[in-house]
Amino acid sequence: MASSVQIDELWIIKPDGTTILNERKDLTIDQQLFGGLLVAINSFLLDIGLDQCQTIITTNAKLTIIYSKNPSLIFIARSSPNSSEEVIYEKLNSIKLRFLSNFKDWAYDQFVVDKETKSIFKSLL
């Protein structure tokens, strides 16, 4: 992710937890396990009457989360815990808009990112 200086990892996940795209600089995390965890956290928050999760901060990382309703997708950026929330949110929202403008129709049908599509998407970052 060449121009994503502050974003260490990008995830695009279906609401059922299926990862459709993951681009990372360093960590290796089981994609389906991470997707399932995020969906479970959001389901729990909604069940207890809270809004969907927007940020999760740990000592090592910050996850910034935004949602798309049409198609229904979850966009997550992992960054340093002390990175600017505003800057990361703006960058992630820009990535979301680019993804949706270029792959919206495609995302409804396949929800799997092949190497060629991933390469095209990465070139937009």
Q: How far is CA 93 from the centre of its chain?
A: 10
Q: Whole-model pTM?
A: 0.76
- Tens-place pLDDT, residues 29-61: 676 777 777 778 777 877 887 766 677 788 888
Question: How long a stretch of residues is the chain?
Answer: 125
Q: Which fold has domain 7-124?
A: Beta-Lactamase (3.30.450)
CA distances in angstroms from 17 to 13, 90, 102, listed in the order given: 6, 24, 22
- Give the start-to-end residue ranges of the domains of the chain: 7-124
- Tens-place pLDDT, residues 22-37: 777 665 667 677 777 7
Q: What are φ and ψ of residue 62, in 5° steps?
A: -125, 130
- Tens-place pLDDT, residues 107-117: 555 555 667 76
Bridge partner list, 65? 76
Kindly state the tokens that stand for 53: 């999760």
